[in-house]
Amino acid sequence: MKAIESSTIAVLAEKPSVARDIARVLGADKRGEGYLQGNGYVVTWAIGHLVSLAQPHEINPEWRQWRFDLLPILPEQWPLVVYERTKDQFEVVRKILTSPRVSRIVCATDAGREGELIFRYIYEATESQKLVSRLWISSLTPDAIRKGFDRLRPGNEYDRLADAASGRSRADWLVGMNLSRAYSIVYREELSVGRVQTPTLAMVVDRELTLRRFVPEDYIEVVATFRRRENPSQETYEGTWFRSKTESSKDKDAQGNISRLPADGQEANNIILRARAGEAVIESLSSETQRMQPPLLYDLTELQRHANRLYGFSAQETLDTAQTLYERHKLISYPRTDSRHLSADVASTASGIVGAVSKSYEKQLAGGTGERPLGKRYVDDSKVSDHHAIIPTAVSPREGPAHRKGTQNLRPDLPPLPHDVA
């Protein structure tokens, strides 16, 4: 590794692509093996998880044996180990985070519980004692990165998030290690049990069994074509016979199938005979005007549902597409969100976003779009946790590549932080 400049600020991102975006904004344009350096910064990355909780036998050699009398396994300490496949990159990160020339560290992993855990595990495993500040952004546009560095927060403000992440990680470990061994011993075959994996698998199995138990039944529907007397060749209408509310309320089986008739055809034929002998009359005609609220903004789940309805995308296809739009093209905000609202500060940027993207969607936009502030239906700080709803960024699809090439170098003024994370 080349010598790091004195008083350098280290930035640790979660992925190489994110690190490159950050380095481009910060002016760290000198490439090294596993890092980028320049303009007073050294930017490196984690490739996801570099560090994990130790396996049972790495904590206590006796736990290598799968025996019922050794269960449950309850570690008093939780040592960390470095993944063998990524140990080279971990060593790069370790040297950077512990270098005497590095004055402080910026945690730039994904702004969320999992990203916080990745950084904390690496920070602990490297035994670094540097001051830490947190970059918390929901978009990877150059402007969002600049603003994020302008608003860096002390790392210890996210200790509770780190505790939640660590608690979940240890819960996964305890359930997985103990129940997998217990079930494997009882059933004498290697079985895998997980805190999330097993209940999810149970739901899939239950659904599959329901489908297998389903017995298809034939049924008949009676459909009539209606025409006007004055002009029978035009304005036809097809109507399907259905049970009245009174009939369906008496018959529980009919409630869910108000238009389905037995396959023997007897009841259907009786209805047809009555229809042919009678005269179609409009008994009542009513109309009403309803006002509907516009839908809330997208969270990931609603985006996946809508993409499936419109295009037949699977949940994974939608997530992969959204992740690409976020990471590579910088066209949308962070997609892995469970919020359908915006914070007040993000909502204040809506007019700029509309201005940036409106040229491509002029026919779809209502007049005055972006001029009026969003109301409380969409803006609620209390309903925004890690990330706000998925929204476009102020990057036009046509101008994105040029926008990225025109990025300027920047070294924000970082105020000293009063406390260490450790």
Q: Which residues are catalytic?
A: 334
- The span from the CA of 359 to the CA of 353, in Å, is 11
- Find how far residue 347's CA is from the centre of its chain: 20
DSSP 8-state class, residue 359: G
Taking alpha carbons only, the member of 48, 50, 49, 26 closest to residue 38 is 26
- The span from the CA of 140 to the CA of 16, in Å, is 13
Phi, psi of 106 (to 5 degrees): -110, 120
For 68-103, b/e burial (b = at least 16 CB within 10 A) is: eeeeeeebeeeeeebeeebeebbebbbbbbebeebb
The token duo for 319 is: 């997530």
DSSP 8-state class, residue 379: B
Question: In a 3-state reduction of DSSP, which class is residue 414?
Answer: coil
DSSP 8-state class, residue 374: P
Taking alpha carbons only, the member of 392, 383, 384 closest to residue 144 is 392
| Helices assigned H by DSSP within 241-349 | 245-250, 252-255, 266-277, 300-311, 315-327, 344-347
Taking alpha carbons only, the member of 350, 357, 320 closest to residue 335 is 320
Complete edge-to-edge strand list for the sheet that includes strand 131-134: 30-32, 35-38, 41-45, 8-13, 102-108, 131-134, 153-154
Provide the pairing of β-strand 80-82 with 51-53. Answer: antiparallel
Strands (E), 182-294: 219-220, 223-226, 237-240, 261-262
- The span from the CA of 26 to the CA of 40, in Å, is 9
